[in-house]
Chain A
Amino acid sequence: MSHERHLEPPFEPLHDSALLHVAGRANYIEDLPRLEGELTLATAGAPSARGRIRAIRTDAARRVPGVVAVLDHRDLPGGNRWGPVFEDEPFLADDEIGYLGQPVVVVVAESRAAALAGVAAVEIEVDPEPPVLTIDEADARGDYFGVERFIRKGDLAAGWAASRHRIDGLFESGGQEQFYLESQAALALPGEGASMTVHSSTQNPTEIQKVVAELLGWRMNQVVCLCQRMGGGFGGKETQAALPAAFAALAAWKTGRPVRVVYTKDDDMRLTGKRHPVRTAYSFGFDEQGRIEVAEFVVRSDGGAYADLSTAVLERTMLHLDNAYFLPNVAIAARVCRTNLPPNTAFRGFGGPQGMAVIENAIEEIALTLGLDALDVRRANLYDADPASPRSITPYGQRVTNNRLPEIVERLAASSSYRARREQAAATNSAGEAGSEPPIRLRGLALTPVKFGISFTNKMLNQANALVNVYTDGTVQVSTGATEMGQGVNTKLALIVAQELGIPYRNVVMMPTSTEKNANTSPTAASASADLNGRAAVDACRKIRTRLAALAADLFADPKAGLERSVESVRFENNEVFDARRTESKRIPFPALAHRARIERIDLGARGFFATPNLGFDRETGQGTPFAYYTTGACVAEVTIDRLLGGLTIDRLDVLMDIGKPVHRAIELGQIYGGLVQGIGWVTTEELVYDAKGDLLSHSPTTYKIPNVTDLPADVRANFRVDLLDDDGIEQIFRSTKAVGEPPLMLGLAVWCAVKDALSFAGGSPVRGRRAIPDLKLPATYEEIVRVTERLADAARQ
């Protein structure tokens, strides 16, 4: 087959499922063959977003033909509270209602139609209360999760004294639906005795194993969770794959039959959590050059009805309010608000984007206040490249080392002709006679940097294990805790193993992620999975190699020829093993050595382990070293807006990122393109609209608009340029590679800032020139653009 050539190094192999994807033969949970006696389920949800359940009546539902079981909280064998941080979320609502549609009753049936008919027959009586749907309402009520967290550095009073100027404002960023294409799904198979295998579309099989065990009142060793692949995750399946898996497991245990559940897209969007909306009150003091002397932030995030990962997400928001900028004196106070919406959760960036958006908006406002180009304000505030400089210390006390952002910003500004293009745009925007209206189409440019901390801020999670099994024909199976959601982690891990063992890539197969093979794993999240699991796999490979090298050294030793036994001289390359001292003779094929090893009773399998060293962040003091390193990059975006109708065109994107030495360049570029476009969706068209009852109105792609191919700049290869900074060779967690999963998403802020830049020219007659727009929200939808233009025009007329 013609694609075979791609399977040999030094080529970068195809994505390890690509040939299955394109043929429609990659199976997702919904595609697995139907099983004998298989059932499905649907949930009856709370009819109001807030209130108490008075009665649950299920008799009529039980009588619906095809309905096999109707289950509510009284049927739970174990506890009815779960959660990754605080165990506060019911599997099935039992008293207080968290959000509209919250599962109350599980109807298990022979068919989906029967399950839905059963759901329709369930009666849930409630005492409804008016729901709390916004941060403002929850904040006013003082309804929060956890305590207020603080990060403080320097002397605020001194900072204000040194400031010639100040800005104050309230910045709001909206939520975002993950919009993985494959909705939440699970298939539970009851095993012998009390045991259960759960196939789950999850980023966190260990969590599913634990939650299912808790739900059933079992021990963890009674449950196995498997994940072959996900049809996208983006954080949305880090914790929230748990409910469907729990329902399927409960139904399977109660009926003794396999049970599969796949959410519809509408249900998935209505019932599962999203990126946290965040409202931040900010104040900045700065000098004439826009250099920040002091910054204060009061951050409130919308956690939804249950804690989920909200406190961890908020922590990352706090840790990214500085983005790439040195803040000499700073105070951050932050808290998660409780509202009556589905619990908000992880989404690529995990709170980081919300933090960075605040300061990138402030930089634009500072530039508008001072009449400066925002790039100059950014340059004045970047962390120093010199790690010894006092201007390299973050608000939480970690030093920014190996900081190449100043270089990235200079190079990108030059390679993208930022200055010339921005001047040209400003000239176009200001064309015409004084006092005339600005052109309908306004152009804007912005360059925004990203500095994203790599590591889970929860230190415990920075560990991974891997199982590498070599077979006697020289082929290898690898199992790790990393789950494949499209990001290509399996392809990268297989490449790493092939390189470590010196064998062809095609001889390595990645196995489905299973808690049976890899126990106590961390979620595939925080951009860290290739790093952590890669290092664990390397550890396993090196154990095997050490054993095989000892055997090979025995075989190569030839004292008569003057060759003493030398383990150090054994090399593994090109599917062969040889002695570096005499490369011309006696090469043992790797399969032959593996075969011989079994005969010699040498273990051909190994488990590897890795834990990131030197991490420690004290959330009580807000100080420490939460990150192993930072991934950095920057983006220049140029946009054109139609100020009258709100249209937005992205004319050009230039990206420069430092991801060290890529493991697989094409796959990692795919992360950059995909992450950035997802970020663009967050800042432009993706808007969650709820009604007064707390029902999500934008619950499907008809009304919730993720980017389309036509939203890319025209002539895409010319106008969407991504360059990688040359590798600095500095060893990070895995070789000199840097994590790439999440950071590119935040490059999308360049588009938002460019829209803001364009809008600042929309003031019109009689006074021309740029105006501050402190109230521009994120996302900058067509509606925001039209609204802000009108306000600026009104102000100009007065």
Chain B
Amino acid sequence: MTGARGHLRLAVNGVVREVGGDDAFLTLSTWLRERLRLVGTKIVCSEGDCGACTVLVGTPALPIENGSGAPRIRYRAVDSCITFLYQIDGCHLITVEGLASGAPGQTELHPAQRAMAEKFGSQCGFCTPGFVMALAGLTEMARARRAPLDESALRVGLSGNLCRCTGYVQILDAAKALDPETTPALAERFDEPALVAALAGAERESVRVESGARSVSLPASWSEALALRAREPQAMVVAGATDFGVQINKGRRAPDSILHLRTHLDGFAAISIADGTLRLGAGARWADVLEQTRELAAELAAILDRFGAPQIRNAGTVGGNLVNASPIADSLPYLYASEATVELDSVRGRRALPIAELYLGYKELALAPDELLAAIQVPLPGPGETIRLIKVSRRHDLDISTFTAALWLRRAGDRIAGARIALGGVGPTVVRAPGAEALLTGARFELASFRAAGESAASEIRPISDVRGGEETRRLLAKNALLHFFHELAGERS
């Protein structure tokens, strides 16, 4: 990467900063607290499961609705404890300290701050900055989209933040008191044109920050990414870092070299639908997938609403979820049952692979050392075909699955013409249940068929007991999942 920029360029609360050396590898929360002494951002769990560290990350983007083409900064809420500084190159970071405007002593609180105080949304106060930032992000997004913030949107929007004191009722009061229409845009609190001028275009520059034995590379193009991958196959490929960040924080990983793929790389984050096939670029963030597939793939969207949390979906990517290869990844049963195809790319060329062949064992991938996951193609259900998903977790939201299931069904009159069953959390990888599929195929669409299939599925899997659930429970869930699918589908028919 000759000519690569050797430092990161970003802005915090309106002030542009250049960051190099070891600091580039820090999490945002640590950097904010320890280097900038901005201690309003709290750290509780260091794993993206409480939202206390929520900040807003703004990226200069061309607004679609605005014909002028002038770049604006679009903000999304992320967990700063699992976001690394190198991930926000070219971004404007807003922390709770930057939300209020005006000079010290004469600050005008942001409406989200005022509402939280006035509605008694804070008790001990430790989660409060995170809630304030999540709320500010929600109002900003709602204002930009001219979408109302009703209670259900607010609940989903705040589901990435935990509070132990309030029972959330007065926090929801505060949220409901906010009016996106009258809430000033974040652009008005900062000199947006100056920030855009300083930050826009950063993504078109290659960046490589080195510090001792450590390095992080941010390629400027997909071909550069492939070349880097071939040259440094040992480098850890990082996109949204929502799981990688946890592993770093808990000392489970410490890679020296990192290849960070930014979402703008040619087509890397593209989402498209053509000929009944949904194509998701590996760099697409789940929040964007959710937004663009809500109607086209409602079943997928229903599960994505419970995928991680808003902050996680704002950072995590399709490719990250697939390559992380967890048997309880929320997207995988859907992709297995849809018989999706992954596109793998390298300097040697591109190849396609059925999703089931991507996984060789627990966290083991059929990915060559020089390959990158580029995209996934998902055939959407055609006429007479249907797909259903199940996620079981200890808590409805902001929880990792204990068990997941997908059923793809083709019906012909009273009979089942074809069935695919994918189960997650029951073995080292997501698995199909061929015995159960065979039982269903050709069978009548009735409870007895599904009961038999469920019993077969339960006997086909090799689950383990862990903190999320027992082996027996998981077998029971496999059996019950098929019954559940039947009742759901039968209920729709009647």
Contacts and interface: CB of A to CB of B under 8 A. Distances in A.
A674 B487 CA distance: 37
A773 interface: no
B395 A708 contact: yes
Given A709-B155, A711-B396, A487 B118 contact: no
A720 B132 CA distance: 23
Contacts of B344: none
A518 interface: no
A645 B167 contact: no
B165 A712 contact: no
Interface stretch (A11-19, A219-227, A240-248, A730-738): A11-19
B49 A783 contact: no
Contacts of B165: 232, 486-487, 670, 674
A747 B397 CA distance: 23
A645 B114 CA distance: 41
Interface string B218-238: 000000000000000000000
B481 A647 contact: no
A286 to B, nearest CB: 35
A183 B44 contact: yes
A94 to B, nearest CB: 28
B120 A670 contact: yes
A666 interface: yes
A664 to B, nearest CB: 9
Contacts of A706: 162, 164
A698 B52 CA distance: 19
Interface in A210-242: 229-234
Given A181-B50, A786-B476, A23 B120 contact: no
Interface in A446-460: none
Given A31-B39, A677-B168, A21 B128 contact: yes
B396 A647 contact: yes
Contact of B487 (A3, A233, A440): A440
A462 interface: no
Most buried by B among A182, A234, A678, A698: A182
Interface in A261-287: 264-266
A710 B246 CA distance: 24
A673 B128 CA distance: 17
A22 B119 CA distance: 12
A388 interface: no
A666 B123 CA distance: 11
A787 interface: yes
Contact of B42 (A181, A487, A646): A181
Nearest to A25: B40
A15 B169 contact: no
Contacts of B487: 440, 644
Contact of B126 (A232, A677, A787, A790): A232
A486 B392 contact: no
B215 interface: no
Given A15-B117, A17-B125, A689 B44 contact: no
Interface in A466-519: 485-488
Output the residue of A669, A675, A709, A714 with the most chain B CB within 10 A.
A709
A6 B125 contact: no
B113 interface: yes
A706 B127 CA distance: 14
A708 B37 CA distance: 30
Contact of B155 (A647, A710, A790): A710
A614 interface: no
Interface in B267-326: none
B95 interface: yes
Given A181-B126, A486-B124, A673-B169, A24 B41 contact: yes
A759 to B, nearest CB: 15
A712 B50 contact: no
Interface in B104-145: 107-109, 112-114, 116-118, 120, 122-129, 132
Contacts of B467: 689, 697-698, 703
A14 B120 CA distance: 7
B442 interface: no
A709 B157 CA distance: 10
A488 to B, nearest CB: 7
B148 interface: no
A452 B222 CA distance: 65
B396 A229 contact: no
Contacts of A488: 123
A28 B480 contact: no
A724 interface: no
B161 interface: yes
A118 B396 CA distance: 41
Given A15-B123, A24-B129, A644-B481, 11 more contacts: A15-B117, A17-B125, A20-B125, A21-B117, A230-B124, A486-B125, A646-B392, A647-B392, A706-B162, A712-B172, A714-B151
11 contacts: A3-B118, A22-B128, A22-B132, A23-B40, A24-B41, A181-B52, A181-B164, A265-B45, A702-B49, A707-B395, A717-B169
Interface of A: 1-3, 6, 14-15, 17-28, 30-31, 33, 178-183, 229-234, 264-266, 440, 485-488, 642, 644-647, 666-667, 669-670, 673-678, 685, 687, 689, 697-698, 700-703, 705-712, 714-717, 720, 781-783, 786-787, 790
Q: Which 5 A-B pairs have the closest CB atoms?
A: A24-B40, A486-B124, A231-B126, A677-B167, A21-B125
